[in-house]
C-alpha cells in the first residue's frame, strides 16, 4: 500500500504540480525550486493543520492536495470504517484530498474529501474517513533540513524516530523478560499503593479533605478525590530522554552537540530503524510515510552511501520514503531514471519534469534502448543540471571540461552544465530524444564519421549532395590511402569479409577526406548544428588539438591548459573557443 500520486494545487510555489510516487522517491532540484514545498504538501495531506496565509500561492483560492492510495488494505480498518470507505475504493485505489478554502479557515473548516469513481465527483467527508486515513497512513515522519534534530530523537514521541525504535525495544523486553517485567510491574504497583491504597501518604488525604470542604461551600454533598493510575513500564519509556557522550567525558544532552553530530546521530538511528524493522519482520500495519529534507546534510560520502541503503531498506518495510537531495550519492544509478526533477519556471512556479524512466520507455523498440538506459543511469549528475552535453566517450569526458574551463574562466558545472558519456555514438540521438521528452534541451558533440554512420535518415538526408560527394571521394581515394571500405562505403579497419587490415585507421581516413572536401564538410557541419549537434570538421577532436589519439597526449594537453590558462598550444585554438561558446 502506498501513495502512488500526489496532486498539489496552490500550495506555496506549487501552483499545480503532479508528483508520481513509488516506495523510494528522491526529489532533486536547485535551491528554492520547491522541493521542500512538495514534502510539506504531502505531510499536510496526511496530517491536518491550519495553513498560514503565506503558504497560499494565491490568497483568494483554496489550497488542495490530492492523493491516490494504491492497493488499499481494508482489513486494517475496523468494521464500521471499512464499510464507510469500501464504496470509494476502485480497483484497489482510494483517492482523497485535503482542502483549506481560505486563509482564515479554522481547523474545523479544513475538509477531507473522497473521490467517487462511480460518479466521477468529489464527495464530502464520509463518516470515519479521517480515522481510516490515519490507520492506513499513520502520522508521517517529517524531518526538515534545518530543524532541531532533538525534537525527533532526543526525547520520546509516539511517531518520531526514537519513539518507533523504543517501541521495538519494548516489544523485545515483553517477549524475552517476562519475569523481570512482572517484578517491575509489582514494584510499580507498590509505588501506586502509596498514592491510592491503604498506605497512602497522609498529605494526599489531607489535601482531599481540604478540597472537599472548599467545594462544599458552593456545592454541598460533592467530594474531591485525587486518583493516580498505576504506572506501567511503557509509560516510563515515554519519559525517557537521549544523551550522547564522546570518547572522553561524561554524557551530555543531545542538543548540546553540534549540528554535524546531531544530524549524523539522527540518520544513524534511521539506519537502525531500518535494521530493527528488517530483523523483526513486517507487521500488518499501515504505511508510514518518511519525509526527509536533505538527509545528506553534514554527512561524509561513505555515510551517505550507508544512509541510502537504509532508506532503501525502509522502503520495503511498511515505509514509503520521500526525500529531497543535492547529492548524486543518495540517488544511485539504479534509481536515477525514477528520480523526480523539479525546477521553477519564469513565473517562479514549481514544475516537475517527467521522470526519465517514463520517457525512456517510449523508445523501448529502439535497438539502442539498452545503451540509452545504461548511459543515463550512469550519469546521475545530469539530474542536478540545467544543461546537458552528450559526448561519445572517455576522450571528450577528459578534454571537453578543460576546454570549457580555459575558454570561459569557469567550469561547465558552475554554469549548471553536465557531460553525459554515451555507450556509443549510436546512443546519442535516442538519448537526445529522451532528454527532450522530459524538458531538457540537450546538445551533442561527435566525430565527423557520425554524420555518415548515424545521422543519415535521422537528422540529415542520406542523399544530401554533400554526403554523396564525400562518399564519392572515399571511393576514388580508398586505394591510394590503403583503406578498405565497408558495405556503406565508409572507411573500415579491415577488409570486408577478409583478413587484411587498412593501412591507416578510419579516423585518419576521415581527416584526409575533411581536408580535401572542406566545403562539403562545412555544409554537413552546418546542417547538424541546426539539430544541436557539434561535429568536428577536421574529423575528430584530436585533429583540432593538434595531438595524437593517445591517452598520454590527451593528458599532456590538459595539463598544459591548466598550467598556462590558455588554449594557444592547440593546433586550431579558434575552433576550440567557438566550440566552448556553442556549449
For the segment 391-413, the average pLDDT, to the nearest whole number, is 93
Q: Which residue has the cell 543519415?
A: 456
pTM above 0.85, yes or no: no
Cell of 137: 497512513
Residue 102, φ and ψ in degrees, nearest 5:
-145, 155
pLDDT at site 295: 86
Confidence of residue 274 (pLDDT cuts 50, 70, 90): low
For the segment 429-455, the average pLDDT, to the nearest whole number, is 92
For the segment 559-583, the average pLDDT, to the nearest whole number, is 95
pLDDT at 367 over 80: no
The beta strands (E) that lie in 402-510 are given as 417-421, 443-446, 484-485, 491-492
Confidence of residue 556 (pLDDT cuts 50, 70, 90): very high
Among the ranges given (77-81, 237-241, 245-249, 292-296), the one the predictor scored with the smallest mean pLDDT: 245-249
Among the ranges given (80-94, 194-208, 271-285), the one the predictor scored with the smallest mean pLDDT: 271-285
Q: Which residue has the cell 576550440?
A: 576
Highest mean pLDDT among 87-96, 152-161, 222-231, 423-432 belongs to: 87-96
Q: Which secondary structure element, helix H or strand E, spans residue 331, and what is its range? A: none
pLDDT at site 514: 95
Q: How far apart are CA 44 and CA 294, in angstroms?
A: 19
Between residues 391 and 191, the one the model is more confident about: 391
Q: How far apart are CA 304 and CA 308, in angstroms?
A: 6
Q: How far lies 238's CA from each of 98, 231, 439, 546, in Å?
A: 31, 11, 49, 73
Confidence of residue 443 (pLDDT cuts 50, 70, 90): very high
Strands 2-11 and 340-344, how do they pair? Answer: unpaired
Q: How far apart are CA 521 and CA 115, in angstroms?
A: 61
Summary mean pLDDT of the chain: 86
Q: How far apart are CA 156 and CA 200, in angstroms?
A: 30
For the segment 387-401, the average pLDDT, to the nearest whole number, is 92
pLDDT tens string 459-481: 999 999 999 999 999 999 999 99
- Give how far the C-alpha of residue 346 lies from the chain's centroid of Cα atoms, to the nearest Å: 23
Q: Which residue has the cell 460518479?
A: 119
For the segment 47-57, the average pLDDT, to the nearest whole number, is 94
**Residue whose C-alpha is closest to residue 110's, from 27, 181, 55, 45:** 45
Confidence of residue 139 (pLDDT cuts 50, 70, 90): confident
Confidence of residue 265 (pLDDT cuts 50, 70, 90): confident
Q: How far apart are CA 133 and CA 3, in angstroms?
A: 12
Other CB atoms closer than 10 Å to residue 386's CB: what's the count? 13
> Is the distance from CB of 41 to CB of 56 less than 8 angstroms?
no
pLDDT tens string 179-212: 888 888 888 888 888 888 788 889 988 998 988 8
Q: How far lies 530's CA from each of 173, 217, 524, in Å?
A: 70, 96, 10
Q: Which residue has the cell 508510514?
A: 288
Q: How far apart are CA 447 and CA 457, in angstroms?
A: 18
DSSP character string of 465-480: HHHHHHHHHHHHHHHH
pLDDT at site 328: 86
pLDDT at site 282: 46
> Is the distance from CB of 475 to CB of 467 less than 8 angstroms?
no
> Is the distance from CB of 283 to CB of 253 less than 8 angstroms?
no
The beta strands (E) that lie in 311-438 are given as 319-325, 340-344, 350-352, 387-391, 417-421
Confidence of residue 279 (pLDDT cuts 50, 70, 90): low
Among the ranges given (76-80, 266-270, 301-305, 459-463), the one the predictor scored with the smallest mean pLDDT: 266-270
In this prediction, what percent of the chain has a pLDDT beyond 90? 46
Tell me the β-bridge partners of 421.
391
3-state helix, strand, coil in the chain (%, to 5): 45, 20, 35
Residue 383, φ and ψ in degrees, nearest 5:
-65, -20
Between residues 514 and 30, the one the model is more confident about: 514
For the segment 351-369, the average pLDDT, to the nearest whole number, is 72
Classify residue 23 by its DSSP letter. Answer: S
Amino acid at each position: 500500500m502506498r501513495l502512488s500520486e500526489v496532486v498539489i494545487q496552490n500550495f506555496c510555489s506549487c501552483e499545480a504540480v503532479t508528483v508520481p510516487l513509488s516506495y523510494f522517491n528522491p526529489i532533486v532540484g536547485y535551491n528554492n525550486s520547491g522541493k521542500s514545498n512538495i514534502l510539506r504538501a504531502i505531510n499536510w495531506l496526511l496530517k491536518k493543520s491550519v495553513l498560514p496565509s503565506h503558504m497560499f500561492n494565491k490568497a483568494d483560492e483554496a489550497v488542495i492536495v490530492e492523493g491516490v492510495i494504491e492497493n488499499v488494505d481494508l482489513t486494517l480498518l475496523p468494521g464500521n470504517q471499512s464499510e464507510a470507505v469500501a464504496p470509494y475504493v476502485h480497483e484497489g485505489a482510494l483517492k482523497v484530498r485535503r482542502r483549506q478554502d481560505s486563509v482564515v479557515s479554522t481547523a474545523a473548516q479544513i475538509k477531507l474529501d473522497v473521490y467517487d469513481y462511480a460518479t466521477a465527483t468529489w464527495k464530502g467527508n464520509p463518516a470515519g474517513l479521517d480515522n481510516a486515513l490515519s490507520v492506513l497512513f499513520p502520522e508521517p515522519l517529517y524531518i526538515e533540513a534545518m530543524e532541531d534534530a532533538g525534537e525527533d530523537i532526543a526525547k520520546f514521541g509516539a511517531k518520531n524516530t526514537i519513539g518507533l525504535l523504543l517501541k521495538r525495544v519494548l516489544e523485545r523486553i515483553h517477549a524475552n523478560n517476562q519475569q523481570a517485567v512482572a517484578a517491575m510491574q509489582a514494584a510499580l504497583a507498590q509505588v501506586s499503593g502509596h498514592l491510592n491504597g491503604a498506605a497512602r501518604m497522609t498529605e494526599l488525604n489531607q489535601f482531599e479533605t481540604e478540597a472537599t470542604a472548599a467545594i462544599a461551600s458552593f456545592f454541598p454533598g460533592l467530594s474531591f478525590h485525587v486518583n493516580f493510575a498505576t504506572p506501567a513500564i511503557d509509560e516510563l519509556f515515554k519519559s525517557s530522554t537521549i544523551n550522547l557522550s564522546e570518547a572522553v567525558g561524561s554524557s551530555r544532552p543531545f542538543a548540546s552537540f553540534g549540528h554535524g553530530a546531531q544530524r549524523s546521530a539522527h540518520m544513524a538511528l534511521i539506519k537502525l530503524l531500518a535494521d530493527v524493522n528488517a530483523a523483526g519482520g513486517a507487521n500488518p500495519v499501515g504505511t508510514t510515510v518518511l519525509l526527509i529534507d536533505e538527509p545528506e546534510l553534514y554527512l561524509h560520502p561513505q555515510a551517505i552511501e550507508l544512509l541510502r541503503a537504509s532508506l532503501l531498506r525502509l522502503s520495503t518495510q511498511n515505509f514509503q520514503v520521500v526525500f529531497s537531495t543535492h547529492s548524486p550519492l543518495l540517488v544511485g544509478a539504479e534509481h536515477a531514471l525514477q528520480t523526480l526533477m523539479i525546477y521553477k519556471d519564469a513565473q517562479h512556479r514549481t514544475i516537475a519534469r517527467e521522470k526519465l524512466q517514463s520517457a525512456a520507455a517510449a523508445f523501448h523498440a529502439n535497438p539502442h534502448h539498452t545503451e540509452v538506459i545504461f548511459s543515463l543511469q550512469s550519469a546521475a549528475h545530469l539530474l542536478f543540471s540545467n544543461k546537458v552535453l552528450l559526448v561519445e566517450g572517455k576522450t571528450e569526458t577528459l578534454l571537453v571540461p578543460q576546454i570549457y574551463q580555459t575558454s570561459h574562466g569557469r567550469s561547465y558545472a558552475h554554469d549548471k552544465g553536465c557531460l553525459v558519456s554515451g555507450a556509443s555514438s549510436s546512443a546519442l540521438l535516442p538519448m537526445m530524444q529522451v532528454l527532450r521528452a522530459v524538458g531538457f534541451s540537450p546538445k551533442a558533440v561527435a566525430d565527423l564519421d557520425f554524420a555518415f554512420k548515424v545521422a543519415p535518415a535521422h537528422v540529415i538526408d542520406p542523399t544530401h549532395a554533400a554526403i554523396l560527394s564525400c562518399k564519392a571521394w572515399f571511393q576514388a581515394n580508398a586505394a591510394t590511402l590503403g583503406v578498405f571500405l565497408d558495405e556503406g562505403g565508409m572507411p573500415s579497419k579491415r577488409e570486408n569479409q577478409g583478413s587484411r587490415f587498412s593501412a591507416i585507421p578510419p579516423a585518419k581516413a576521415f581527416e584526409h577526406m575533411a581536408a580535401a572536401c572542406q566545403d562539403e564538410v562545412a555544409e554537413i557541419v552546418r546542417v547538424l548544428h541546426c539539430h544541436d549537434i557539434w561535429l568536428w570538421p577536421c574529423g575528430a577532436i584530436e585533429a583540432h588539438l593538434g595531438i595524437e589519439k593517445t591517452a598520454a597526449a590527451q593528458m599532456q594537453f590538459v595539463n598544459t591548459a591548466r598550467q598556462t590558462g590558455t588554449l594557444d598550444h592547440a593546433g586550431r585554438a579558434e575552433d576550440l573557443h567557438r566550440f566552448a561558446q556553442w556549449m
